[in-house]
Amino acid sequence: MQITLHHISDFLKPWSPIIGFTSALLAAFAWVQKKISKWANTLLHNHMAHMQQSLESIVSAQGQLVDAQSVQTENLQQQTVLLQEISFNLNQSKTEPRKRAKIK
Please give the Cα distance from 81 to 74 (Å, whole number). 11
Q: Is the pTM of this model over 0.95?
A: no
The kind and range of the H/E element at 90 are: helix 16-95
Please give the Cα distance from 92 to 51 (Å, whole number). 61
What string of H, E and C letters represents the secondary structure of 65-84? HHHHHHHHHHHHHHHHHHHH
Domain boundaries, the chain: 15-92
* Per-residue pLDDT tens digits for 23-71: 999 999 999 999 999 999 999 888 888 888 888 999 999 999 999 999 9
The kind and range of the H/E element at 63 are: helix 16-95
pLDDT band at 97 (very low <50, low <70, confident <90, very high): low
